[in-house]
Every structure is written in structure tokens, then in C-alpha cells.
């Protein structure tokens, strides 16, 4: 949940996510009423309160009530709206603008930046990560924190450079609060932008880094089993790899990551199929 304590609840400098977390915490512990600044003497209140209006009596014979209840408004098809906005983008600049203008992702409220991409559009290798962290949110670029620095070293080990040879994005363009995992509904509304992003960037190969990237693009989970096994999605060959953040937590997994990097290097150096 959050590391807020009760002394935080009255602060005016809470951001949106902290304020919501504080409210959810109060609800979870049973708070249902607000205490006012001035006390209320409830003995002075009227003994008899007006009764709420009773619902209209149904007409006999199965006819509809003369005052039918209003139907709740239909929920927005946010995935459909996202698909329309993404499909209208004719280049990456238009797609970035459409993503920034998309108003239905709550993560926007607590984010400082739209983390769209980094690297070289049109590069043969496109890396798709999971979601921005704190450093990425501040700088507005994916993979720039400790995990990003490790990624740069991994790429350099096989002769690749971020500024020359790869193009990088994430499934989510906004940092989730407290770096929590992306929610399914958040991924679903962002996937039309991701698919259009891949189509416009037109890489030769996709690298799905991390479990959530594999889930979103391949529909599969279990990155420790998926890694290093070539797959296919969105008309592209896909190589799942361990996320650099995972490697920072589990250094012993770097041997597996090195094997996957060599697999990518071999694929890039193999002759392209002729038509």
C-alpha cells in the first residue's frame, strides 16, 4: 500500500497518489465519517427526520413504473478510444502527441513525464520494457536509472549502442505509484499505442524485457522460462530477456542474460533472408 503514517494525512504537499493511498488506508481501517471542526450536539437535532421518498409503485398488470429509474451511463470503451487515437497517428511524433493527449489513464495524474522512447527510430532492434521508474519519470526517457545503465553495458558487450543501434520504449508510458506492477486495465488501454509504436518504428526484431512486457506482447508469463526462446508477435521475431532490474536483484542470472545477448548478436549477424 504505502508508507504513510497518520501524521501525513493532514499535509498539503501530498501528491495525487499519496493522497489517494492515504484515503484508501483510512477506508481499509473502517473510517466512514468525517469529524468536523466544531462539535454537533445531536440531542438538539429534530426527533423526526423527513422520510426518504419511496420508489414509485409499479403499475398493475406488468406495465412499467410511471417513473422508471434512470439507467447508469454506459462505461467508456477506453481501449477502443485508444485504438482510434493510435491508428490516426501517421508518424512517431503524432503518436507521442496522441498518447500525451489521451485522458483516460489515471497514472497521468501522478506522473511528471510521458516516457515515450529513446534511441534511434528505425533501428533494427527495438526493446520493449515494462514501465518507467523514478529516474525515467524525471528525465522523460526509458531505461536511464540503474537498470538503464546496466542495459547500456549489456548492449555494449555485443557491440550495440543506444544512440546508434537500438530503439527503446515501455508498455506503460507513466510511472506507477511506488513502482508497483502495471494493472491489467492499464496495460490494455496502452497496448493500442504500443502496437502502433512498433508498426511505425518498424524494427527487425523485438526484445521483450521482463515478465510484463512478455505478458502484454506474447500473452505469456514466466520470464525465467521464456527468456532466450525465440517467439513471434506483431509480425516480428521476439526474443524475451530478463529485465536489467531483475539482474540487479539477482546477479547470478547475468549468465543467462549473457547467453541471450549472444543469441541476439548471432541473429543480427546472420544473413537477412532474400525475397
Closest to 128 measured CA to CA, from 95, 97, 172, 162: 172
What gap in Å lies between CA 82 and CA 192, rounded to an integer? 6
pLDDT at position 76: 86
Strands 125-129 and 166-170: parallel
pTM listed for this prediction? 0.73
For 30, the 3-state DSSP assignment is coil
As a whole number of angstroms, the distance between CA 26 and CA 68 comes to 36
Mean pLDDT, the chain, as a whole number? Answer: 85
Look up residue 70 and give its three cell numbers: 434512470
Residues 78-98: what's their mean pLDDT?
97
Rounded mean pLDDT, 63-84: 66
- Position 17 scores a pLDDT of 72
Query: Integer distance in angstroms from the first to the last C-alpha of the chain?
Result: 54
DSSP notation for 79-113: HHHHHHHHHH--SHHHHHHHHHH----THHHH-S-
* Mean pLDDT, residues 123-148 taken together: 96
**Comparing 256 with 11, which gets the higher pLDDT?**
256
Instruction: Give pLDDT tens digits for 188-213.
Output: 999 999 999 999 999 999 999 999 99
The yes-or-no verdict on residue 63 having pLDDT over 60 is no
Half-sphere exposure of 147 (CA within 13 A, CB side): 21
Q: Answer whether residue 5 shows pLDDT above 80.
A: no
Q: What is the mean pLDDT of residues 257-273?
A: 92
pLDDT (average), residues 147-164: 97
Judged by DSSP in three states, 19 sits in: helix
Tell me: pLDDT of 160 over 70: yes
Length of the chain: 275
Model pLDDT for residues 19-48, shown as the tens digit of each residue: 777 777 676 666 666 666 666 665 665 555
Q: Which residues contact 147 (CB under 8 A, 6 or more apart)?
A: 133, 243, 244, 245, 248
Provide, rounded to the nearest whole percent, the portion of the chain with pLDDT above 70: 75
Sign of CA dihedral 199, 200, 205, 209: negative
Residue 153 has pLDDT above 80, yes or no: yes
pLDDT of residue 14: 64
Q: What structural domains does the chain harbor?
A: 78-269 (3.40.470.10)
Is the pLDDT reported for residue 50 higher than 60? no
Strand partners, 237: 232
As a whole number, mean pLDDT of residues 226-231 equals 97
Amino acid at each position: 500500500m504505502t508508507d504513510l503514517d497518520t501524521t501525513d494525512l493532514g499535509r498539503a504537499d501530498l501528491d495525487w497518489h499519496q493522497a489517494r493511498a492515504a484515503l484508501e488506508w483510512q477506508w481499509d481501517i473502517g473510517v466512514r465519517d468525517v469529524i468536523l471542526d466544531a462539535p454537533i450536539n445531536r440531542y438538539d437535532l429534530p426527533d423526526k427526520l423527513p422520510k426518504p421518498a419511496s420508489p414509485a409503485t409499479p403499475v398493475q398488470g406488468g406495465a412499467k413504473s410511471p417513473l422508471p429509474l434512470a439507467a447508469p451511463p454506459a462505461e467508456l470503451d477506453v481501449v477502443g478510444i485508444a485504438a482510434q487515437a493510435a491508428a490516426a497517428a501517421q508518424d512517431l511524433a503524432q503518436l507521442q502527441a496522441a498518447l500525451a493527449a489521451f485522458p483516460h489513464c489515471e497514472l497521468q495524474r501522478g506522473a511528471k513525464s510521458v516516457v515515450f522512447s529513446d534511441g534511434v527510430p528505425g533501428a533494427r532492434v527495438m526493446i520493449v520494457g515494462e514501465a518507467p521508474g523514478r529516474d525515467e519519470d524525471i528525465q522523460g526517457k526509458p531505461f536511464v536509472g540503474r537498470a538503464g545503465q546496466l542495459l547500456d553495458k549489456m548492449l555494449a558487450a555485443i557491440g550495440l549502442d543506444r544512440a546508434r543501434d537500438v530503439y527503446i520504449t515501455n508498455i506503460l508510458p507513466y510511472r506507477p505509484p511506488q513502482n508497483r506492477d502495471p494493472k491489467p486495465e492499464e496495460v490494455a488501454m496502452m497496448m493500442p499505442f504500443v502496437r502502433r509504436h512498433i508498426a511505425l518504428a518498424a524494427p527487425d526484431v523485438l526484445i521483450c524485457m521482463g515478465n510484463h512486457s512478455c505478458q502484454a506482447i506474447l500473452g505469456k508469463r514466466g520470464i525465467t522460462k521464456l527468456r532466450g526462446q525465440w517467439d513471434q508477435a506483431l509480425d516480428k521475431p521476439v526474443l524475451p530477456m530478463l529485465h536489467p532490474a531483475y539482474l540487479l536483484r539477482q546477479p547470478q542470472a547475468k549468465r543467462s542474460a549473457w547467453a541471450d545477448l549472444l543469441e541476439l548478436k548471432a541473429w543480427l549477424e546472420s544473413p537477412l533472408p532474400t525475397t
